Amino acid sequence: MRDRLIQFACVIIALVAMAVAGSILPRMSKIADEKDLRYTTAAIEGAPPIVAIGTAIGALRGIIVDYLWIKATMQKEKGLFYEAMADAQLITQLQPRFGEVWGFHGHNMAYNISVLTNTPEERWQWVKAGIELVRDQGLRHNPTDLWLNKELAFWLSHKVDGVADDAHLYYKRQWAKEWQFVLGTPPPGWAQRILWMESIRDAPDSLEEAELKTPGVKKLVDQLSEGLSGFDQKFRFRLDKDFLLNEGKWESSRTSRFASLLGLHTKFLGNDPVYATFDRVLGDPANAAAGRTFVDFLRKKVLKEGYNMDPAVMAQYTKEFGPLDWRHPQAHTLYWSRLGATTGADRYDTDDDIYKIVNTDRLTIQAMQALARSGLMDYDPFSNDNPARLNDPRWIKAIDRYFNELYRKHYKTRGAGGDTFSDFHENFMTWAVRDLYRAGDIEGAQAIMDNLDGLYGRGGLIPNHKYAVPMDTFVRESTYGEYEFQPEVARSDVYAALARGFREGLLLGRDQVLKDALRFASQLTDYFRSTKFTDFVNKFGERRMADLLGGLERSVEDVFASVLRDTTQPLIDRLTIYNRADEAYRRLVFDLVKEPMRAEFEASPLREVMPFEQALPEPPNMEEWRIARAEAERAKQEAVDAQNRAVGERK
């Protein structure tokens, strides 16, 4: 009798437990949906039997994941990176909502395995694979995982844009080349850049919509499909990332000075049937309007499907923050850190987790700082040169605004709260004073100094006279010793001085200003490229630090071209600067600025007064210069090829 009572009581308890579980199940399901805590129930091909059993049974899945996680961690600690990668892959398939394992897996590839390779190409493949794993897969499964967004943003900032890795210059070239092919050359002006991204945001979502918007798109696609059908084994006609990269290669070659110098267009036409098809179909003037609509549609599609990026968010951030250039890794750092802080705000808005949002917000403003120092880019994907990365003062006001936003946002956050950003703000604005001073914007520099004096000087918590000194004294003292610890600052100072030299020296007839700028740039370039903390040559034959700042001629070319393409300055002033420059300087930039300045000229009243060839005359002996430059580029390429062969033979 006693046993039956116990059995009866157990049945009652079980029924009550089932009823309670059933009543809370909807709430648990809702929480799981809100917090993205779902597991996968799909079978995993090639997995060990125990994993297949765990997937089928369900209850064992957590135990198996714990076992694999501990095992992978131990393997990583022992240096068994490939073995750890295999187990991490199983965990991501068993439990795709486990954000930390995606980060573990990606970090293992980008940091641990990459450094075991012997060439920059091999190393980049592993770094890129780690980034793509988290961006394209991990964040699709965990879109509100702030930590995973932060990890990806940090890798882009530290691994790709930083200087710690021996192959970082190669990474920068490859990143710029890929995004040059994906989105093309961004327009120079901020307002133009907003419209550029909005045109992709507003592009049709299907070919049917594209045809309705611009009749002729379907015919263009049929022509491309027919033209590429003969190469189906090597190039399958899919409107995907590979297709867009090939289209971008064709489009970029038409404006590339190096492609022109080296005759690459003719070479590609003869050797690359895909390129030839793009040239025949997309290069047909009759397809111009349909081609623009088609390319915008394709870019929107590939950004979403191939890069897990939202063109609407990209356009929003370009408008909200500043003139983002997606060829720069820090633009992507800003995108992922800001996106993580936004989408994960509710999930991590607790006292225990708020530091995660603070750290992510730091990455965003640090990315903006990097863009201020090197965000004005120019890149030719057909050269072996590093991307030209000039300081962009348009970010200074954006950073000042965002600092105030972060200060208010975190004012009551435990710890130091908003004050955690104050040191950053003071240091950055000190740099901004120096940058504007060297660029000749004395009024702008003084306004920032006055603001600094009110916040951190005589109006600070502990009053001091740090900012109550003559500006030249302040600039000199704030520069001392900084180049060793922040090599980007040396490049920034050179570029700012040269920009001022060209603008004031040539436009205002102040010859001494230009001479002083050239002398300062020459002295700082020689110092930076020869000093002991930059003379290290890595195993890939590149000077990891010194090559951040090219020779004086390269700096002059980059800066002079940037000054002439700066649409914020009157066109007539820029034409005056060009015509007053020495022939040697004009030869350096003529092919770089000719077409963009022609487009401006044709849209201005100046075309009624004179022909463009008179406004921007070709320098004497230009053809001989082009031939010599082409020979120099071929010699450089041969040297690079020989070095790569030597590295390969040593493996």
Reported as a single tens digit per residue, the pLDDT across 576-599 is: 999 999 999 999 999 999 999 999
Last residue in a domain, options 247, 281, 314: 314
Share of the chain above pLDDT 70, in %: 79
Query: Rounded mean pLDDT of 536-563?
Result: 67
The answer to whether the CB of 625 falls within 8 A of the CB of 591 is no
Report the residue count for the chain.
651
Tell me: pLDDT of 213 over 90.
yes
Asked if residue 487 and residue 613 are part of one domain, the reply reads yes
Using one digit for the tens of pLDDT, what is the confidence trace for 259-282? 887 888 899 998 888 899 999 999
Same-domain pairing of 566 and 637: no
Q: Give the pLDDT band (50/70/90) at residue 20.
A: low
Pick from 81, 116, 142: which residue ends a domain? 142
Residue 566 covered by a domain: yes
Instruction: Please check whether residue 433 lies inside any domain of the structure.
Output: no
Paired with 210 in beta bridges are none
- Which one is predicted more confidently, 438 or 529? 438
Within a domain: 290: yes
Rounded mean pLDDT of 520-529?
78
Looking at residue 482, what is its pLDDT?
Answer: 67
Do 171 and 160 form a contact (C-beta atoms < 8 A)?
Answer: yes
CA distance 261 to 588: 13
Centroid of chain to Cα 149: 15
Q: Provide φ and ψ at 531, rounded to 5°.
A: -70, 160
8 and 90 part of one domain: no
Q: What is the mean pLDDT of residues 244-252?
A: 94
**Separation of alpha carbons 111 and 150, rounded Å:** 16
Is 531 contained in some domain?
yes
Residues 196 and 309 in one domain: yes
d(CA 60, CA 98): 16
Position 36 scores a pLDDT of 47
* 15 located within any domain: yes
Higher pLDDT, 505 or 492: 505
Does residue 135 lie in a domain region?
yes
What confidence score (pLDDT) does residue 419 get? Answer: 75
Do residues 606 and 643 both lie within one domain? no
Do both 603 and 571 map to the same domain?
Answer: yes
Handedness of CA 349, 350, 356, 361 (dihedral sign): positive
335 domain residue, yes or no: no
Both 5 and 53 in one domain: the answer is: no
What is the reported pLDDT for 310?
97
Mean pLDDT computed over every residue of the chain: 82
Residue 307: partners with Cβ closer than 8 Å, 6 or more residues away = 135, 136, 182, 241
Given 291, 314, 337, the domain boundary residue is 314
**Residue holding tokens 């082009």?**
626
Q: In this predicted model, what pLDDT tens digit does every residue of 323-344 receive, in sequence order? A: 999 999 999 999 999 999 998 8
**pLDDT score recorded for residue 41:** 42
**3 state SS of 238:** coil
CA-based end-to-end distance of the chain: 81
Whether residues 290 and 266 share a domain: the answer is yes
In a domain, residue 203? The reply is yes
Give the tokens for residue 319: 């408008």
Residues 204 and 293 in one domain: yes
Task: Report which listed range, 414-428, 544-558, 604-618, is most confident.
Answer: 604-618
Residue 384 has pLDDT above 50, yes or no: yes
pLDDT tens per residue across span 445-504: 999 999 999 989 998 888 999 899 998 888 877 776 666 666 667 777 888 888 888 888
Question: How many structural domains compose the chain?
Answer: 5
Residue 503 shares a structural domain with residue 630:
no
Instruction: Provide mean pLDDT across the span 15-37.
Output: 54
Domain interval for residue 286: 190-314
124 pLDDT exceeds 90?
yes
Same domain? 485 vs 616: yes
pLDDT at 301: 96
CA distance linking residue 153 with residue 134, whole number of Å: 10
pLDDT above 70: residue 556:
yes
Q: 97 and 9 share a domain? A: no
Overall average pLDDT of the 227-237 stretch? 64
